[in-house]
Structure 1
Amino acid sequence: MDASPDPAARRFALVGPRFFAYVDAIRETLERKGHVARYHDERHANTVTAKLLYRLGWYARFPARKRQHLDEVARRVLADGATDVLLVATEAVDRPFVQRLVDAGVRVHGYTWDSLENKPAWMAYMDLLGGRGSFDPQDCATHGFSYIPLFGEAAYADARHAREPGPPVHDIAFCGTLHSNRADHLAALQAYAHRRGLQLELLLFFHSKLLLA
């Protein structure tokens, strides 16, 4: 990491999946606030096969390749002199990785935009995190997370206010990934909208047909 001219600035390492542009947006926000921030991919590869094996828990049962990669990430984080590590919606990170950083004096924080039901690995190291944030109100109430909306930055609020005025096109709109038990919830939402005579728009996406299956 490059040295920061501000002695009060922190040196952040962001660890998470290479996933849309959310992690980059968080990194850029930290840099605008005067901090130093560097991103590290938690996965050793982002091929469809590798993602599938991570999602199905293959590397949890046969962790040698994952362990090698996470050990290298931890080495780079410590060599960079990071003061803080922010785990962003991680799936591959495990307790030994977090414990190594904490033992070295690094403050480790976590933020996820998904329910812990879909992030069970977090439960193994949650007690080691110095700060925990989520946009899931139930997890915040149950586990003491700070509630942080995903699009809480001012830039997103400005974009919302800048849109052209006019009547809404839809009563309810859902935009998100199709996975786990989300189809059941969406079916219930569709039934509710139908009963109430509401216009529902679904904008769904998935990583690949293989992962969706």
Structure 2
Amino acid sequence: MTEPRDPSESLQPMPVPNWLDQVCEALHEPTAHRSGLPYTAAEVPFVAVHHWHAGAVADLIGEATGRRGVDAAPHDAVRAVHARAAAGEAIGEHAWSAVLEPALADVYRLAYPREQVHSRASSAAASFARSRGWFEGEAEHYGETYARLNTEVSERVHAEANALANAAAYSAAFASHDAEDYARAWPFAMVRAWIAAYSGPADTDGSAAREARTRLRDGLVDAVGRARVSR
């Protein structure tokens, strides 16, 4: 007779994948070895993360913000703090949060699928108006007005909420130089946001997105190499 399963076993949290595997998966590379990194996360000094952010990541986001007319100052500040951390300077959690939050808000705004959200909201609102007997022109105007207001609010809330939560998580990890804390911030999601910000949220499988993934992969390989040499 089979022993009944302890219900508490199914309630155990799933282990968090290490940061390197998360990043490689987000870059469409299922293992570190396929990214040109013959190392496990335990073999990679945490300073590699700072080298990567100060280099390839900052370059990519700098270009994305430049094309969209976004102020570069918040992103230059993040690059500078990562460069200082990579050089060995201890930087506190509050200092990290102060630079990360505004920069992350920009990234999430750029990555937000504004056109798709607007289109769905406009169509749904116009259909609702028609169902209530509105004339076609009135229904279309109502749909467009509703969609514009809804999309603006949704985009702002999405960017602000994600920036606030992620700035707190990443600030703690960067200040403590803790690879496990960094993994628990789920960097794979941040990588996806960077790619969407660069390529545009409607083209995350197109040529610009593939370019972004290649640049981030190459930058990661370089960052890990630099970190291991200076170990």
Decide: shared fold, TM above 0.5.
Answer: no
More helix by share: 2
What is the TM-score of this pair, normalised by structure 2?
0.26
| Larger Rg over CA atoms | 2
What is the TM-score of this pair, normalised by structure 1?
0.28
**Larger relative contact order (CA 8 Å, sep ≥ 6):** 2
More strand by share: 1
